[in-house]
Every structure is written in C-alpha cells, then in structure tokens.
Structure 1
Amino acid sequence: MDKRSLLLRIKLCPGIGLKGEYLAYCWLETQDINTLDIEEVQAMIINLLRDNHLNYKKFAVSFLSREINILVNQAMNQNWITICDNIYPTQLKEMYLPPIVLFYAGNLKLLEANNLLGVVGSRKCSKYAVQAMKKIFSQQVVDSFVIVSGLAEGVDTLGHQIALAKQGKTIAVLGTGLDCFYPRSNEGIQLELMKDNLVVSEYFYGTGPRKHHFVERNRIIAGLSQKLLVVEARLKSGSLITASLALQNNRDILAVPGNVNSSYSAGSNELIAAGCQPCLDEKDVLGRVVI
C-alpha cells in the first residue's frame, strides 16, 4: 500500500467530497502508512469525516467495495498524478481545496511552466469579445504564455483555438472525464489538445457534465494561472467565480472593458470598477512596453 494509490482510491470513492478528500490527504501526510493496513486507513478517514461533521456513510460503504476496486484497477492503467508528486504545480497545491488527483492526456511538462495565463469568459460571447481576443492575443502574448482555459463554448474555446493557430501552448481543464466531450462540437479540438498540449481533469473516465463540476473546475483554472484574463462576463457568472477564486490566491486579474449597456460585459466592468486592471491590448497582458 502506498500513498499515491490511496489518494487515487479516495478520489474515485463517492460520498467524500472535495473537503473530505483534502482532509484525508492532510492526514495521510502525517502518517507512516506502511504501518497501517487499508482497513485501518478506512476507519481513520471515517473518523476524520465524522469529527469534521462531513457525510461519511456512502464513503464507508464504498471505499473497499468491489466496484471501487475495479475502478482503481482501471485507473492504474491511465495517466494520472497526485498532489504528492513532484510535477504537481506548487501554485495549485497552495490554493483552497486543491485536487488530490488529476487525470491527464498530453504534455504534462506544461504544468511546470511559470507563465500560465488563465482565460475565462461568456459561453455565448459577443462579436466584440471575439474582436478583443484577436487583438489582445498577439503572437508575442501566445509565445510568452501557456493559455489555460476550460474548453467550454465561447471565450474558452476561442482562447485554445488562438493558441493552436499561432503554434502556442495551451492547457484545457475539463469539468468531465477525459473521454467526454462537452460541448460535443469540441471533440476535435479536445483530441488535438491531447496530442501535443494538455488536457486535465479531476474526474475519471465516464464522468459526464454536472453543474457543480464546472464550479469545481474553475478553482483549478484559478489555481494554475499566474494571471487571469476575464474577457467577457455576466454578473453572477462562472467567470466572476473564477476571478474571485484567483483573487483569493493572490493572482493578477485583468478584465476587458465592455459596453456599459451590455449584460455580457457587466461582470468584467464590475471587476474593473473594483480595482482590477483593465486589459486593452497585448501590453497589459505582457506587463511591459512592446516595441
């Protein structure tokens, strides 16, 4: 029994949640697990969940079940890293409730880059957002940053597409398993990113889209990125949630100003009013004068 496989089992087990997973990881960090058998680990994690007033009954039933044993065996043959691995990004480990396991396809070395630019925005983005992104994402910006986004419709997809078109590097963070395509129209670009770029998810194969997964996905985008660019966002949108999480992680936030009469720009304009840096062109992203 080793710590990596235990973290994988915990991740695959239902009924524990992100907070429970992280508490279990913190507890494992203090233990010499070579002195424990798996039943003892199960009992101690159940006590940990109970002591922190978290649900534990489904976890208790599932942890050593035949179904989870099968999932663990299947996952062992896939590509995955844990929060204990050296390649796991430091900035992600320092965020609130970091993922204890990430499944991936593609070039894992991209996680070691120190110039990750998160890009978020509306799924039903306006023509203005498209024009703004084409202006901001110059060749120099694409050469200088690895673009991180969520492969959703609209701004996310355009960010990945611009990076690919300019021979840059990009990371997609999914809210589904790696074998799911959401939206379905992004199957082609997702498969392309899995070759020479990187696609990551904390959800195992076969996991379809669920509303709360996309909120959880946003925290990973915020945690990975050194800078976050909000291109277009409605009030109370997922993009604003990502920006809030990034601020909590002391990341630099930039926002593209928009029409004050447009609901699509209400969120990004609100960020600027609250003190975030307006992003007008490539110089704002690069943080220096472009000659």
Structure 2
Amino acid sequence: MNLSRLRLIYLAQSPLVTRSFLQKLTNEDPDCSKIYDCSSKELVDHYQFSNKKAEQLYHYIQQFDSNHPILKKLRQFKIWTIHDQDFPPYLKYIPDPPIILYGLGRSDYLTHSPALAVVGTRRPSKDAKKHMYQLLKTLVDRDWLFVSGMANGIDGYAHRIADYYGGKTIAVIAGGLSHPYPPEHLDLFQRLTDKHLVISEYPPHVRPERYHFPERNRIISGLAFATLVFEAQERSGSLITADQALEQGREVMAVPHSISLEQAKGCHSLIQNGAKLVQNTYDILQEWEESKLNWQQI
C-alpha cells in the first residue's frame, strides 16, 4: 500500500477532519505530502483551523507511521480512496463524491451493472412486500443488483428480496461499519457482510448521527443508473435520494398507489414532476435499455 494512500486514510480517522476538508485536501494535495509537512500555523492560515484544532491535528499528523495501530485496526475492512483504480467510476464524478469508502463483503459488487437504487418509507403499507416482489423478482433473475440504505421498511425488504432469491445487493449505511444501524437489522447486517456488501464513507469507529442519513443518500443514488421509490411520504429521506439522483443525472422512477395512502404522496409528487411511473417490471427494463449506453460510458 503506497504511502500517500496510507496518509490519506490515517488523516481521515481524525475527528478533526471533515468531508469538506478532505475534498479540499485531495484537490490541492492528492498525495498528502504538503499537509504532512505543515506547521500548526500553516494549518490555521491555509486550512482555516482554529489555533487549538490546528495544534491537535498537527500532533496527530506527527504520530503517523505506516504501521500505526489505527491503520492496523482498519485491515479487516476493504478501503477504497478516490484515487484508487478500483474506486467506482459512477461515484467519482458525482457533484459531491466520497473521498474514502469502507466496506465489508463482496467488493466486486461495487462495480456491478445494472444496479438499481430502491428506497422508500420505514413504515410501508401491508401490500408493500407483495408489490416489491412483483416488480423486483424478475430483476433478480436477470442478475440486477439493488442498492439501498438498510433502514427499516422498504430498504430492508429490498435487501432481503435480493438475498432470499440469490441476487446481489449493497447496503450504504449511516455511521461507521462498527456501529450498524438500526439495531433491529443486526441480523441483516451480518447476512449482508457475509454474502453481499455493506459500505460507508464514515470511518468504522464513527457512530451514526442524524445528518449522516441524508448525506449517505447521494451514495445510494450515485451507485445506480436509476432510483426507484416504492412508498414515500412528502418531505421524506426517499425524496432526498430522488433529488440527489436528479442532481447526478440519474433516472428517477416511482410506483403509484391509492390516493388515500399517506405513503403514496411522495411517489405521486415525483410522478407529477416528471419521474417515470412504474406499473410493472417492463417499465424498469425499458428505462435501462434507454439509459445503458450512456451509463456504460461513465
């Protein structure tokens, strides 16, 4: 493992280092050589740290060596940096790409195609499982991969459908891999790390915070050619994922439901605003046929 890569990974483990800082650093100093030679004053002047934080980060950097205990603990995880050749190209060019990804499971899934993001409410209707089976089972049989967020409800259903029927799935979680969330899905997390893939952009030791959930949505949409919303309330996390997909130039599809269903309002709003209405699996396959040439050129 080359030195500049280790330096970036080590730096990212510090609680003083934010996503925006990592983005600025990798743009200006891809091999991390300059920051490791910075004084605490230069950290203040150039990177806008407070005096106290600059001093703390300076001492943290000075403790780096390629066999540091922090780096040893990370060896159980697969790690991709944005400079790695096997970093997923679909993510590299989104407006706000993750700089580092941590994974457990099948690393080859990260570049599998076609991949479909499947999202929706944590409180699905009683018909949700039936509708998801009707639409997704054929895609499993055609070797599609589903990307979702391992949340309760629709996310969990998507992962379980892929797993039960011998398909492929990726879970993108909020927080680090040592703190899977929600606790109700610990069995699912274990199953996915054994047979599929779970990833996060947060270092493994980081506990999930509220703001992590909307942040991780851009990775869910970014890994897939399209985002399919099954059930979603208005102003929900699923609609944030749909917005992220549009910003990334991805397709958005939505499944309609009864107008009396609260969980349908978000989907109906998406359809009113141009999302593709999905009534059967053919609608999804047709969208892929129209999109795959552009997608495969990324």
TM-score (norm 1): 0.88
CA positional deviation for 1:281:
1.2
Tell me the SS of whatever aligns to 1:153.
Answer: coil
Tell me the SS of whatever aligns to 1:225.
Answer: coil
CA positional deviation for 1:259:
2.0
Amino acid at match of 2:98: P
Amino acid at match of 2:8: L
User: What residue number does 2:21 align with?
Assistant: 20
Q: Does 1:58 align with 2:91?
A: no
Looking at structure 1, the residues matched to 281 and 135 of structure 2 have their Cα atoms a distance apart, in angstroms, of 5
Looking at structure 1, the residues matched to 141 and 58 of structure 2 have their Cα atoms a distance apart, in angstroms, of 44
CA positional deviation for 1:197:
1.1
Amino acid at match of 1:150: G
Amino acid at match of 1:9: Y
CA positional deviation for 1:6:
2.3
CA positional deviation for 1:60:
5.2
Contact preservation (8 Å) 2:150, 2:156 = yes
Q: What per-residue deviation string (whole Å, max 9, x for no partner) do you get for residues 121-178 of structure 1?
A: 0011111322221111123445341110010100000000000111001111111221
Looking at structure 1, the residues matched to 282 and 195 of structure 2 have their Cα atoms a distance apart, in angstroms, of 28
**Structure 1 residues 266 and 62, CA gap change in structure 2 (3 angstroms):** same
Contact preservation (8 Å) 2:137, 2:161 = no
User: What residue number does 1:6 align with?
Assistant: 7
Contact preservation (8 Å) 1:152, 1:182 = yes
Contact preservation (8 Å) 1:15, 1:56 = no
Q: Which runs of 5+ in 1 are unaligned?
A: none
Contact preservation (8 Å) 1:16, 1:59 = no
Looking at structure 1, the residues matched to 69 and 157 of structure 2 have their Cα atoms a distance apart, in angstroms, of 38
User: What residue number does 1:39 align with?
Assistant: 37
User: What residue number does 2:159 align with?
Assistant: 160
Looking at structure 2, the residues matched to 200 and 56 of structure 1 have their Cα atoms a distance apart, in angstroms, of 34
Looking at structure 2, the residues matched to 262 and 55 of structure 1 have their Cα atoms a distance apart, in angstroms, of 51
Looking at structure 2, the residues matched to 219 and 60 of structure 1 have their Cα atoms a distance apart, in angstroms, of 33
Identity over aligned residues, as a percent? 30
CA RMSD of aligned residues (A): 2.7
Q: What per-residue deviation string (whole Å, max 9, x for no partner) do you get for residues 195-249 of structure 1?
A: 2211111122232221111111111101111111011111111100010001000
User: What residue number does 1:98 align with?
Assistant: 97
**Structure 1 residues 135 and 42, CA gap change in structure 2 (3 angstroms):** farther
Q: What per-residue deviation string (whole Å, max 9, x for no partner) do you get for residues 88-117 of structure 1?
A: 111101112211111111111111213111
Looking at structure 2, the residues matched to 22 and 77 of structure 1 have their Cα atoms a distance apart, in angstroms, of 25
Amino acid at match of 1:71: I
Tell me the SS of whatever aligns to 2:102.
Answer: strand
Contact preservation (8 Å) 2:40, 2:54 = no
Contact preservation (8 Å) 2:177, 2:199 = yes
Looking at structure 2, the residues matched to 281 and 39 of structure 1 have their Cα atoms a distance apart, in angstroms, of 58
Looking at structure 1, the residues matched to 42 and 97 of structure 2 have their Cα atoms a distance apart, in angstroms, of 21
Tell me the SS of whatever aligns to 2:127.
Answer: helix
User: What residue number does 1:150 align with?
Assistant: 149
Q: What per-residue deviation string (whole Å, max 9, x for no partner) do you get for residues 30-61 of structure 1?
A: x683xx571328776654432xxx87853652
Looking at structure 2, the residues matched to 187 and 82 of structure 1 have their Cα atoms a distance apart, in angstroms, of 27
Contact preservation (8 Å) 1:123, 1:152 = yes
Q: Does 1:267 align with 2:266?
A: yes
CA positional deviation for 1:22:
1.0
TM-score (norm 2): 0.86
Looking at structure 1, the residues matched to 179 and 226 of structure 2 have their Cα atoms a distance apart, in angstroms, of 28
Looking at structure 2, the residues matched to 55 and 273 of structure 1 have their Cα atoms a distance apart, in angstroms, of 47
Amino acid at match of 2:22: E
**Structure 1 residues 225 and 60, CA gap change in structure 2 (3 angstroms):** farther
User: Which range moves more in the overlay, 186-195 or 156-165?
Assistant: 186-195
Contact preservation (8 Å) 1:175, 1:217 = yes
Looking at structure 2, the residues matched to 121 and 63 of structure 1 have their Cα atoms a distance apart, in angstroms, of 43
**Structure 1 residues 128 and 142, CA gap change in structure 2 (3 angstroms):** same
CA positional deviation for 1:194:
0.9
User: What residue number does 2:291 align with?
Assistant: none
Q: Which runs of 5+ in 2 are unaligned?
A: 289-298
User: What residue number does 1:285 align with?
Assistant: 284
Matched length = 284
Contact preservation (8 Å) 2:114, 2:144 = yes
